[in-house]
Amino acid sequence: MNTLPKILLLYTGGTIGMINNPETGALMPFNFEHMASQVPELNKLGVELDAITFDPIIDSSDMRPSYWIQMAQIIYDNYSKYDGFVVLQGTDTMAYTASALSFILQDLSKPIVLTGSQLPIGTIRTDGKENLISSIEIAADKKDGKAIVPEVCVFFENQLFRGNRTTKHNAEYFYAFRSDNYPALAEAGIEIHYNTSALLPVSNSKQPLFYKEMDQSLAMLRLFPGITENVVNQICNIDGLKGLILQSYGAGNVMTDKWFTEVMQKTVSKGVYVLNVTQCRAGGVKMGKYESSKGLIDAGVWSGYDMSLEAALTKMMYVLGEKMNRTEAEACFKKSLSGEINTNLILTD
């Protein structure tokens, strides 16, 4: 009887899956169903691998909610057949995908590990092989018969991060991702060392909760010194707008101009959900800590706490997709669904 862990590899596109065409020298995607020929080390992992490739493959710059749902559907349909899942895509929007999948598929009992590379897997100095091998190991790892990492995560350059805490911060070097507000879930050296206290608990559910609707009727407003009332009004009055991510300064601060608070108040009164997150990479919003953010509370703007921009945007899509009323939406943003918020911040709010 075969007792090897079974892992499903889902290749959506991206640099990691590229090799050089020996005739033309141009980069082309290789067939992941025959990946052992490109990565012979996989034969020594002691896992059974299957692969599904998107057709056509997607440049990560073209990523959108419909592709997230497609990925989630494949994972959901194959959930009972595999011990874990590895998703390969381009790095530019990987943090968005990881955040989105953490809201689309909730209550997980199995790992969903996203990875990619800065160099094609067919080049000599590629980081793709190590990222792929370690991701598969993590997706297969169990303790006492249960998955060690039962959540959506990103593995890159020897570190495993919670997916909805991850941001791409470097376009050139191998350490492309950071998780400024949450510790690494694991570090890969000679062995993989897990930070067990940082991991989400394993769900007892045989299937995850699958939320198939992601509403894109939202916008982002990033403040900058000198932003005009006209610009803010143009964004807040977009036809069909349902959600707005406000990127404020520091701990959630905005300018004290009366017109800005009035625009936020009018926006909220129209039924638009406004979520305040910081422009800073680390730290979070503390509404009311300074005078400049107290007006936002009165206007009905909600705190995004220490959520990343990627998590805030995709959680808003999830909330709008579930057609939550204002009371339900406010309650949802005041709790951590998949580890995207430091719960201590909510308790002290």
Catalytic residues: 15
Q: Which residues contact 45 (CB under 8 A, 6 or more apart)?
A: 133, 136, 137, 140
Q: Strand, coil or helix: what is 70?
A: helix
CA distance 271 to 269: 5
CA distance 118 to 298: 45
The sign one gets for the Cα dihedral 52, 13, 99, 162 is: positive
Read off the amino acid at residue 210: F
Helix axis angle for 65-77 and 94-104, nearest 10°, is: 50
| 329 within 8 A of 316, measured Cβ to Cβ | no
Closest CA to 281 of 258, 310, 260: 310
- Both tokens of residue 66? 């419909």
Distances, alpha carbon 9 to alpha carbons 157, 212, 301, in Å: 19, 21, 41
| 136 within 8 A of 42, measured Cβ to Cβ | yes
